[in-house]
Structure 1
Amino acid sequence: MAVAPRLVALAEQMLGAAVPVRIRAWDGSEAGPPGTEGGPVVVVRSRRALRRLLYKPGEIGLARAWVAGEVDVEGDLYEVLGALAPLVWERADEGLAAPSGRRRLAAVREFAALAGPGLPPPPPREEVRQRRGGPLHSLRRDRRAISHHYDVGNDFYRLVLGPSLVYSCAVWDDKTASLEEAQAAKLDLICRKLDLREGQRLLDVGCGWGSLVLHAARHYGVHATGITLSGEQAALARRRIAEEGLEERVEIRVQDYRETGDGPYDAISSVGMAEHVGADRYREYAARLYGLLRPGGRLLNHQIARRPAPGGERGEKAYHVDAFIDAYVFPDGELAPVGRTVSLLEEAGFEVRDVEALREHYALTLREWVRNLEERQTEAAGLTTPGRARVWRLYMAASALAFERARIGVNQILAVRMTPQGSSGLPLRTRDWITPI
């Protein structure tokens, strides 16, 4: 019997729902529900993919097969992910009916027969195959986690992100013509929210390749310090600063926020960094930034959030770790609802003055990054590894859908360290930064 119909039947049996896409197997056979002819196809290139799933069922087994190129998609990746996502999310949130007892045993035997004899292939080299060493979110472990994600080649990131080298969501409007314009608008929005002025001191926590500190020094005349744990990021950021002749205004350090103690700063930005902090350390993170800021100074915390589970969650249960992202993308990254983040900032002493949701903006940004990657796949694979290029394509495309469907969000939180007299230093109507100065 042809392989593809057997795979479709097994998948439907295990999921307890119809498989909404076509599947092509290594023997050339193809099967799928009516109405999917001519659409995108999930290609299972090898029995090795099934052996991975047999020994590691679920997200990690599928991820390993995808990264190794044993499972692929012909056609629109978004269409396939969009069709499969509800099944994945429903199983995670509510649980789908699955076979039990004899039916389950029969399905496993059928799957094992299709997979063939042999041990599971080793995980792709792009996977974090051992814990990073040391307690969760210790200095040593965080450095290794950051290196895994960011030290994969500056040229690769330039290809994906574009010339701006900004690795966080851009800000779009109806007049925005390009990703570069949208990223410049985001950088300027942050500077206006922080009310940056000539001669002020700005600390950028998790500065990446230096785009924000460069923008702030160039256009607002500040003295900026950027900190990162990535040596590759720091090296390129320093070259960019030297090329613009801004060495006297901008400094880049390879340094953890817990090692920074040269305050007070007039303003602090933290853009796309707090997701790495984690539940165990978030109070420490918030308190450290509060201590580094002068009274009357502002903090702009730009952070991805997840939607809370129905009924609410407390403490560390409010944080979420995705298995695929933890193994291949952001080791030890954790997402929490925005309300949890606001509460912890307030507990540290900050007064939260504004929260702006940018969820749809991140979806638009991710689609641009995926387009860059898909248009130059061969070059991207050559700049890093084929497996890592596949990781980034899947992670960014799936994340775009998650933002579009409100599974996750991203928010800019503006907070202030009030003076002893209770002054925030903000205008009575805080949204005056919407119109560029």
Structure 2
Amino acid sequence: MSQGFATRAVHDGYDCQGQGGGAASVPIYQSAAFDMVTADRGDALAAGKIEGFSYSRLANPTVKVLEDRLAGLEGGKGAVAMASGMAAVSSALLCAAEGGGRLIAPVDLYGTSVDAMKTFFPNFGIETDFVKDINDLDQVESLIQDGTRAIFTESVSNPSTAIADIPGLADLAHRHGVALIIDNTVPTPYLFNPIDFGADIVVHSTTKGVTGHGNALGGVVVDAGRFDWGNGRFPQMSQPELIISDERHGSMVSFLDAFGDLAFLHRVHTKYLHTFGAVMSPFTAYLQLTGLETMAQRVAAQVKTAEILARHLLTIPQVKGVNYSGIPEGRHQGDTDLQDRLAADLLPKGVGTILSFTVQGGYDQVKRIVDSVHLMAYMPNIGDCRTLIVDPARITHREVPGPFRLSAGVGDDLIRISVGLENPDDLMADLDQAFATAYRDQG
């Protein structure tokens, strides 16, 4: 019988007797290197033929528990933890499109993801075809070319909270032999598991709701372990790789030869993590495991408060519109009937802990509001146990070109809130006094 999410969040990936000498909490293995014991074992470790630990840039016991736990919670076959969410996003996308491939993505994404695909990846020969509405499947299909490797989107977008049609995108992608990569940061594994609905790769900024306390940067790539990386679109998976081969005996193998359906995961781990070195520290993994243990309880409470705040904002005269797909009145992106269905079918426990809203008076009033809150902190993070407020156009989406920002609804009149664990009445009172201060001279 399968155990519940909250149970797995506390216990998965760790046996306190078998792995930790009886320690209830996962030990922090603060060691750069580990004894490989014998030459043959060291050779097998270096080639990836056996699991184990030799050097913490390659693998670490504390980090491995976090990887195994997150893979289990997302329904994947394995995971690679990294030093930040963008390290995970960039590594997954570059690994998929390596060697001059193309990506398809919406304009409605976290700002740094857009910037990476728009202005940085082209320097490596990787181009992205952007679409205004990722749920316009006909438009997405029209962009698929011979060189297209992956479709990338957020399950719930930041900051509009529009819900992606993961089942529809998965069916479309797989008909063309293209991988579907989903950033699941906003809902967290507690609210949604994209792999259950056809996603091939899931990435997270574990800095956010997974950790939940704003005290540790991290990211993760989770592999569903079922995509055919040998279908002809991914030549990098079939090329011989010295690091996993036995050159001395004339045995040269590819990641596909060595790892089959997990070729992508092992390539991210062995080529991207090892080479670029965006390694998560053992202490960071410990902090993230500690936060992860209470994710179910935290996120459930935060979703309830987010719904209360979204409805309260709708009663404030100076609020022009609220974006929060957790309530019917907050579903504005694309086909609202589709958004209603996706909310019910994919995210019955809620869409996440962020919401955004537009205000009368533009940027001048936005500044007054964010400068007038007392309880909410003006910070660019999300998923914290504290409630945070920010103006995305100038902060989290600053590097996004104007037409892209406006198409995604990120104008100078937009404010985003990441809902924490404070009492909802206190948060509503803080918003009320901030609006009263900001609009005091306007009747």
Q: What is the TM-score normalised by the length of structure 2?
A: 0.28
* Larger RCO: 1 or 2 (CA < 8 Å, sep 6+): 2
- Give the number of the structure whose residues are more often helix, by fraction: 1
